[in-house]
Amino acid sequence: MSQPGIKDPDLNSLLSILNDELKELVSKIYADKTEKVIYIEVAKERIMDLAKKLFYLGFDHVKSVSAVDYPREKRLELMVHVGSYLRVVRKYTIVIKSSLDRDNPRVPTLTSVWPSAEFHERETWEMFGVYFENHPDLRRLLLPEEFEGKWPMRKDFRIVTRKAGEAEAPWK
């Protein structure tokens, strides 16, 4: 069950537990070559179930929620870093990856399982336009109120540098 070529016994047993628990839910589980990061690829419909399972397995907080934009493949990849404060398990970080439709990226919020995701999800919403359904407070976080562009972290957002003497905001 565990991935071949991994020397760390703890990671091996963690991988086998993950494989056992999540076999039906996810499409892929693998550790990277540094043996510290476990990547899990999952369909976005299953992400809530996966979150609950992972919580049950001791991964109790979210380190980051973000996305990667792939405009050519017309998808946004949700990237959630999950970690744990529990001993041994805390040595490893799980990166949940899930493909979203780039035109209408919607995904259920993870705050119901991990309240720590709240501000990260707000950031991902304003930067990538990923809508987190049922998020308690999905507002802008970092961007100014008068910002008019859309989803600045996407690849097709044009960066306009301000010319000398130009008084207006560069995004206008």
Partner 1 sequence: MSSREDLDPRIKELINKGVDKVRVLNVKTPPPSRSVQRNIDALATGFRYLTKPMRMTIDYPYKDIEYPDRYRGMFRVDADKCIGCSLCDVVCPADAIRLVLRDKKKVPTINWGRCIFCYYCVDICPVEAFETYKIHDVAFYRFEDMLTTLEEFTKRPDEYVPPRKIVGKKFRVVIDENRGLRYEAIG
Partner 2 sequence: MEVAGSQDITQELSKEMFRAVETGIKEEGERLIELQIGPAHPGSGHMRILAWVDGDVVVRCDPDIGFVHRTIEKLSENRAYIKTIPLVERPSLLDTTPMTIGYVNAVEKLMGVDVPPRAKYLRTILAEITRIASHFYGIGILAIFLGHSTGFMWAFGDREVMIELATMLTGARITYAYAIPGGVRRDMPQSFPDAVEKGLRYIEKRLKDWEKIFLNNPVVERRLRDVGILKPNVARMLGVTGPNVRASGIDYDVRMVEPYEAYDEIDFMIPVAEEGDSYARGLIRFKEIEQSINIIRQAIKKIPDGEIISPQISRLFNPLMKKIYAEQRRVKLPSLMATLKPPKGEAMARVEAGRGEALFHVVSDGSTNPYRFRFVTPSFRNVILFKYLIPGHRVADIPAIYGSLDYFPPEADR
Work out whether 6 is an interface residue with partner 2 (CB under 8 A).
no
In terms of Cα–Cα distance, which of 94, 54, 76, 64 is closest to 131? Answer: 76
Among 144, 148, 158, 167, binds partner 2 (CB under 8 A): 144
Beta strand segments in the chain, E? 26-31, 37-42, 61-70, 75-83, 93-101, 106-108, 131-133
Min CB(32)–partner 1 separation in Å: 19
Residue 56: name its binding partner from partner 2, partner 1, none (Cβ under 5 to 8 Å by kind).
partner 1
Min CB(119)–partner 2 separation in Å: 5
**2/64 with CB nearer partner 2:** 64
Among 40, 114, 130, 151, binds partner 2 (CB under 8 A): 114
Helix axes 47-56, 9-22, angle to 10 degrees: 130
Q: Are strands 75-83 and 61-70 parallel, antiparallel or unpaired?
A: antiparallel
What is the C-alpha to C-alpha distance for residues 42 and 47, in angstroms, rounded to an integer? 7
In terms of Cα–Cα distance, which of 74, 69, 51, 72 is closest to 61? Answer: 51
Work out whether 56 is an interface residue with partner 1 (CB under 8 A).
yes
Work out whether 91 is an interface residue with partner 1 (CB under 8 A).
yes
Point out which residues bind partner 1 (CB under 8 A).
9-10, 13-14, 17, 20-21, 55-58, 60, 86-91
